[in-house]
Structure 1
Amino acid sequence: MAAVEVALAGHVRSRAGFVTEAASHLMEAGGKRFRPLLVLLAAETGDRPDSDDVVTAACVVELTHLASLYHDDVMDEADLRRGAETAHARWGNLVAILTGDFLFSKSSELTAELGADAVRIQAQTFTRLVEGQILETVAPGPDEDPLAHYLDVVAGKTGSLIATSARYGARFGGASREVEEALTAYGEIVGSAFQLSDDILDIASESDESGKTPGTDLREGVPTLPVLMARAAADPADARLVELLDGDLADDSRHAEALDLLRKHPAMEQARAYVVARAQEAKDQLAAVPPGPVRDALEAFADVVASRTA
């Protein structure tokens, strides 16, 4: 990870100082480095985990992720990310969007170093990521289950890149094709669980715990796992919550009331149980990985995703 951090710092540099500052902003704010960590961990299933290509692949997925955050924060109008001011809050939407584009382009340059097949995988991943982002803005059809629609969005927006992280690690670390496919399936599931865990944190955590503004998705009317489960409960006792969710939550007092009601709702525990079950499903994909410290770490990785508080 130390090598990845050094490499990332170099990859976000531009000949223009201001571009470097803007592109470094979120990276320097910290973050869990969830995706590059998974690349490095998956690479340990092969016979060349120390390959330079593994470090390059770790940078590819993290730069792609960072780029998407710049765009996400514009769409969400969020003021806080990783406990720091977002780029759009500091410099405006135009700079934030173009900085995201800059990071996407840097990621593409690096992917080209990994070969044509890596470029294909990255392009397919990017297609799914953007498609998921677009679908998030589209309401499900009248005959479509809102929860199923949302889970499809999550698989595209988050699961796809984390699946690719595991695939890249296995491939460039020299793992067998069987292990690569198993880890890709694991990454897809654990990636979706990661986002769904984020949904719970959006409701349950305070900003000093998560580094994000609580209830951002709620305020923007973005459906998340606890909200969808609360709506599906259809309990008469939830009339006030549904009324708030159907209304304008830009008002601080209405937003605070909705947040309080959701935190007390059984849907929160239901959502947590769902995420734990998804983490177990991810661990079940690891049968092809030989028993030992690497498999143990991958299983622990899934457990952390399900129980994280930040």
Structure 2
Amino acid sequence: MQRVEREIERLIKEINYDEVTRLFEMLQGGKRLRAKLILKIAHSSEKAPLLAAIVELIHGASLLHDDVIDEATLRRGVASVNATDGSKTAVMLGDILYSKAFTELVSFERDIAKIVASSVTALSKGEMMDVKMADEFNGDEEKYLDMLYLKTATLIEAAAESAAILAGKDSASHALYGKNLGLSFQIIDDILDITADAATLGKPAMNDFVEGKCTLPYIYLYKVLNDDDKKKLVSLHAKMLDEQDALWIKQKMQEHKTIEKSFELAQKLSNEAMSVMKDDTELVNILQTMIKRSY
């Protein structure tokens, strides 16, 4: 990981603009999940740290754009770039990171470059779908999971698949592992948005619903509520929740066990990923650690 950080530092320095360096430092402090995944899969490859750095630049760019779209003021518990320096600057910084990542990506073989580049198209499409879906309450589980795959899982899938190609390993099984890791990781995040407190999250609790996002616990809840309660849940969508309304939603979720049902899907996806990687203890451990982040 030290080599990855040095590569990231080098790439940012090559942009040759102090303002970019200053702003990029505000994005530090993430889990570096995608980079760690690449290093574990392709640990013997000399080019693995550079590929990991490229993927982290792409991830950083997507977060910058995501914060602008969501009008988020916090990122990992600190002020977001759009909050401190404005949305225009955040968008331009994201564009710079994307373009720098693509500039470096062309040094890799065609298959790897295409997989990573295609994942950026997919995650951008997923972001657009997410914005569109926030316009009204969504009770369609399949539609939500399709969006989740594009927005969150594709880059993790691409990281695992491209690392496998770099290391001469089976790319299909690693792609499935990355896809399911990405999906289950985000489902757990969706659960934590409801169950964790603001201090732990680094943002207000139940913020997803306030922003108009209907994550799995809300979708499952909608399916089992009576007509009056369905109307009430829909009426609260994309609005600031007072303490009483937030408590009502949580109590209904407890009553109908929609958090548990969401966790079961995350566990199922995780188990499927473990089954294709059962001989790789480190990759199995990543899944087990991730799934324990819940409640």
Question: If the length of structure 1 is used for normalisation, what is the TM-score?
Answer: 0.85
Tell me if the contact between 1:128 and 1:160 (Cα under 8 Å) persists in the aligned partners. yes
- Structure 1: give runs of 5+ residues left out of the alignment: 44-48
Tell me if the contact between 2:188 and 2:266 (Cα under 8 Å) persists in the aligned partners. yes
Q: 2 CA distance for matches of 1:58 and 1:263?
A: 39
Q: CA deviation at 1:263?
A: 3.2
- Give deviations 1:95-116, integer Å, cap 9, x for gaps: 1111111111111112112133
Relative distance call for 1:91 and 1:252 in structure 2 (3 A) is farther
- Give deviations 1:9-57, integer Å, cap 9, x for gaps: 2222332211221122112xx01111111111112xxxxx232311111
Tell me the SS of whatever aligns to 1:251. coil
Q: 1 CA distance for matches of 2:241 and 2:153?
A: 32
Matches within 5 A, 1:177-192: 179-192=170-183
Relative distance call for 1:257 and 1:169 in structure 2 (3 A) is farther
Q: What residue number does 2:3 align with?
A: 3
Matches within 5 A, 1:1-310: 1-13=1-13, 14-27=15-28, 30-43=29-42, 49-139=43-133, 146-175=140-169, 179-235=170-226, 239=229, 242-247=231-236, 249-253=238-242, 256-264=243-251, 265=253, 266-286=257-277, 291=279, 295-309=280-294
Q: 1 CA distance for matches of 2:114 and 2:61?
A: 19
Tell me if the contact between 1:279 and 1:305 (Cα under 8 Å) persists in the aligned partners. no
Tell me if the contact between 1:162 and 1:188 (Cα under 8 Å) persists in the aligned partners. yes
Greater relative CO (CA pairs within 8 A, separation 6+): 1
Runs of 4+ in 1 over 4 A off after TM superposition: none
Tell me the SS of whatever aligns to 1:156. helix
Relative distance call for 1:211 and 1:247 in structure 2 (3 A) is closer
Tell me if the contact between 2:191 and 2:217 (Cα under 8 Å) persists in the aligned partners. yes
Question: If the length of structure 2 is used for normalisation, what is the TM-score?
Answer: 0.90
Q: 2 CA distance for matches of 1:81 and 1:260?
A: 25
- Give deviations 1:184-229, integer Å, cap 9, x for gaps: 1111111111111111111111232133332221111111111111
Tell me if the contact between 2:67 and 2:80 (Cα under 8 Å) persists in the aligned partners. yes
- Structure 2: give runs of 5+ residues left out of the alignment: none
Q: CA deviation at 1:180?
A: 1.8
Relative distance call for 1:242 and 1:209 in structure 2 (3 A) is farther
Q: CA deviation at 1:152?
A: 0.2
Tell me if the contact between 1:276 and 1:303 (Cα under 8 Å) persists in the aligned partners. no
Farther-moved stretch of structure 1 (11-20 vs 69-78): 11-20
Between the aligned residues of both structures, percent identity stands at 29
Q: CA deviation at 1:90?
A: 0.7
Q: 1 CA distance for matches of 2:107 and 2:208?
A: 37
Q: 1 CA distance for matches of 2:262 and 2:236?
A: 23
RMSD: 2.2
Relative distance call for 1:267 and 1:95 in structure 2 (3 A) is same
Relative distance call for 1:56 and 1:4 in structure 2 (3 A) is same
Relative distance call for 1:212 and 1:247 in structure 2 (3 A) is closer
Aligned pair count?
A: 287
Farther-moved stretch of structure 1 (148-157 vs 130-139): 130-139
Q: 2 CA distance for matches of 1:302 and 1:187?
A: 10
Farther-moved stretch of structure 1 (84-93 vs 120-129): 120-129
Tell me the SS of whatever aligns to 1:113. coil
